[in-house]
Amino acid sequence: MKKVKFIYNPYSGESTIISNIDKVIKINQKYGYEVVPYRISHGYGMDKAFDNIDDTYSYVLVAGGDGTVDNAVNCMKKLNINLPIAILPVGTANDFAKFIGMPGDIETACERILNSKPKKLDLGKINDKYFINVASTGLFTDVSQKTDINLKNTIGKLAYYLKGIEQLPNLRKLKIKVSSEEHIFDDHMYLMLVFNGQTAGNLKFAYKAKVDDGMLDVLIVKAGMIKDMISLFIKMLKGEHLEDAAGLVYFKTNRLQVECHEDIVTDIDGEKGPDFPLVIECVKEGFEVLGLNVK
């Protein structure tokens, strides 16, 4: 019997995976798969999830948010495990899973995964770490890191927004230098986002991004007047901000370098990222994903 490594985070989102584990096992068994579960908890991190992986395994199934999937991908890359990955979006933030069209219903998602073929998708890389959805720095980028895990699990995305509001009084201009073949930005900014996916916090910032074009979508919110920020924010809500919006730099690239001497952190898919300087690149067809109904 074929095996599937089932990695689940019982604390993701509203812990919905706990009441759906039997569905996951039942559906996989129907298709001839033996489910080998691994529960992430204190003392049992992602690094131990792949200890017994061998050639009897067909794919890796991850139930969690962007951060959980991100951690799984990084461990697989480090251990040179080239199995396809499938996602059950049960976390607080499921931006990448939504980008590739994964349904929120566990049973529907499992059926789609098991009736699909692996598709090679792009993967982001920032220094020596990988990211599936977005790397960022500047205002709000450490919101997820600073949000209490219990608050996050209790009230979900609202916890992020509340923490973000707390940071508004700290709005300040940040000097940064971004270099790529396509564009050079050497000025002050508020926020920079580098997308492999399209959304952050369910807002579709990089609506021109594609899963397999070999490019990253870079958005830099330039420091400026408050009135310009309000106008830009309205355009973002309307999904019109990539069309020559004032106060925003947007370009596509497969590689960029970022230098910054400000006291700010980086964030990759809700987890703390590496320190500056940064080399961010797109790894074309960097990993295989199930669930996209590829014929």
Domain boundaries, the chain: 2-115, 130-285
Q: Which 3 state secondary structure label does DSSP give 7?
A: strand
For the domain spanning 130-285, the CATH number is 2.60.200.40
How far is residue 267's CA from residue 194's CA, in Å, rounded to a whole number? 10
Phi, psi of 108 (to 5 degrees): -60, -40
pTM for the structure as a whole: 0.89
- The correct answer on CATH 3.30.70.580 for the domain covering 2-115 is no
How far is residue 137's CA from residue 224's CA, in Å, rounded to a whole number? 17
Q: How many CB atoms lie within 10 A of CB 138?
A: 24
Low-confidence ranges of the chain (pLDDT < 70): 140-171, 225-227, 229, 293-295
How far is residue 201's CA from residue 91's CA, in Å, rounded to a whole number? 12
Q: How many CB atoms lie within 10 A of CB 257?
A: 14
Q: How many CB atoms lie within 10 A of CB 195?
A: 27
- pLDDT tens-digit map of 78-110: 999 999 999 999 987 899 999 999 999 999 999
Q: Which two tokens stand for residue 129?
A: 């770490």
Q: Which two tokens stand for residue 189?
A: 């900014």
Cis peptide before 37 (omega within 30 of 0): no
CA-nearest of 41, 114, 107 to 84 is: 114
Q: Are 12 and 90 in contact (CB under 8 A)?
A: yes
What pLDDT was estimated at residue 165? 42
CA-nearest of 265, 239, 9 to 135 is: 265
